[in-house]
Structure 1
Amino acid sequence: MARLWFRYAAMNAGKTSSLLQVAHNYEENGENVLLLTSALDDRDGDGVISSRIGLKRNAETYSPRTNFLERLMHVNVACVLIDEAQFLTVEQAHQLHRWVHTRGIPVMCFGLRSDFQGKPFSGSAALLTLADNLEEIRTACRCGKKATMNIRINENGERVQEGSQVLIGGNGRYRQVCARCFYN
């Protein structure tokens, strides 16, 4: 039975490298996969899924205007893998859920659960509601506790607590923290 998966974590947990490993495993078995990433994340170029440990793959991009029911209508794949899933819209999460359960092909989404202010991304909130399988990918805070939150930092390493929800920047702009460090 196909399922909609949401694998979520704080920054630096290995979400993207995990996605690329899943793609590799399918392809090693002779299966085709469709890799998708948000058009918002162009740190390594348009349509590039790139992990911090150096793994990279080309992918197709999606935007808030993408209709997944139309986009996936004629694909011939064993699995759809979506990076930066926090940037999905609520409607797109519903489209993916419907597609999985009418087409019988799994979709695995990888993304952040919340932003630097502790607020949910709309795509993540929808996936937490709709996903058939939820899996937390764990990482550690600098204090040694399990990191579940993210903070944004400026060029001087100081915490930023206001601003746009989306500011692409990766390791240089964000840090994973535990809840205690988030509030201190």
Structure 2
Amino acid sequence: MSKLYFRYAAMNAGKSTALLQVAHNYEERGMRVLLFTAAHDDRVAVGRIGSRLGLTREAATFGADTEFQAARLHETAGGHLACLLIDEAQFLTPEQVRQLHRMAHVDHVPVICWGLRSDFRGEAFPGSAALLTLADEVEEMKSICACARKATMNMRIDAQGRRVKEGAQVEIGGNERYRAVCPACFYADESLGDVAPGLFG
């Protein structure tokens, strides 16, 4: 039975690496997959998924107006689509998550999504909230805070390493802009230096 899967974690937990490994596993067995990532994610390049290990791969992009339809995706894949893999799934709209859930159960195409659960304020992304509601299987990937506890939150920082608490929910950035932290560090002083001296520098 095909399912909709959501694999979430704080930043730098290896989500993109895991996606690329799954794609390789399918293709090694002669199966077709399609990879999607958010159109506005340009950290590696627009339309490319990249991992911290240096692996990169071209991917289709989705925006708020993208419609996920099985027939169109099979055509894009050039034959039977064995699995749909989506990176940065927190940027999906709730309607797109509904389309993916339907695709898994009506069109029998497995869909695996990787993404963040919450933003830098500790609030849910709409796409992640929908995935947590509709996904048939939800799995947390582990990441580590600089204090050695499990990181479950994402902290936005400025150029001086100070915590940023206000701003737009979506702001693309990597290690220079975000830190994965445990809840204790998330709620500690605004300065990362006061949270875990020397560990973030």
TM-score class, shorter:
over 0.9
Question: Where in structure 1 do 4 or more consecutive aligned residues deviate above 4 Å?
Answer: none
Match of 1:127 in 2: 131
Which residue is 1:37 aligned to? 37
Letter aligned with residue 166 of structure 2 = E
One-letter amino acid of the counterpart of residue 109, structure 2: I
The answer for the alignment partner of 2:54 in structure 1 is 54
Kindly state the Cα deviation for residue 73 of structure 1 after the two structures are TM-superposed.
Answer: 6.1
Question: Structure 1 CA distance, aligned partners of 2:112 and 2:61?
Answer: 15
TM-score by length of structure 2 reads 0.89
The one-character-per-residue Cα deviations of 1:149-179 (angstroms, maximum 9, x if unpaired) are: 0000011111111001011011110000011
Aligned residues: 184
Unpaired runs of at least 5, structure 2: 189-201
2:99 counterpart of 1:95: yes
Paired residue type of 1:32: R
For 1:172 and 1:64, how far apart are their aligned partners in 2? 27
Alignment-derived partner of residue 118 in structure 1: 122
Hey, what's the Cα distance between the residues in 2 that align with 1:18 and 1:32? 17
The answer to whether 1:157 aligns with 2:157 is: no
Task: Note the 1:64-75 alignment, pairs <5 A.
Answer: 64-69=64-69, 71-72=72-73, 74=75, 75=77
- Structure 1 residue identity aligned to 2:104: V
**What CA distance in whole angstroms lies between the structure 1 residues aligned with 2:97 and 2:73?**
13
CA distance in 1, matches of 2:98, 2:8: 18
SS in 2 for 1:155: coil
Per the alignment, residue 192 of structure 2 pairs with: none
- TM superposition score normalised by structure 1: 0.97
Q: CA deviation at 1:72?
A: 3.0
Q: Which has the larger radius of gyration?
A: 2
Range moving further from structure 2, 36-45 or 73-82: 73-82
Structure 1 alignment gaps of length 5 or more: none
- Partner residue, 2:23: 23
Q: Is the 8 A contact 2:7 2:115 kept in 1?
A: yes
Could you report, residue by residue, the CA deviation over 1:18-49 in whole angstroms, capped at 9, with x for unpaired residues? 00000010011111100000001012212000
Deviation at 1:105, TM superposition (A): 1.3
Q: Is the 8 A contact 2:47 2:58 kept in 1?
A: yes
- The structural deviation recorded for 1:3 is 0.5
Report SS of the residue matched to 2:40. coil
Q: In structure 2, what residue type is equivalent to 1:14?
A: G
- When the two chains are superposed, the root-mean-square deviation of aligned CA atoms in Å is 1.1
Partner of 1:18, secondary structure, is helix
Q: Which residue of 1 aligns with 2:109?
A: 105
Tell me what 1:79 maps to: 83
- The 2-side partners of 1:170 and 1:120 are apart by 19
Deviations 1:124-150 (A, max 9, x none): 000000000101000111111111000
Residues 1:145 and 2:149 are matched in the alignment: yes
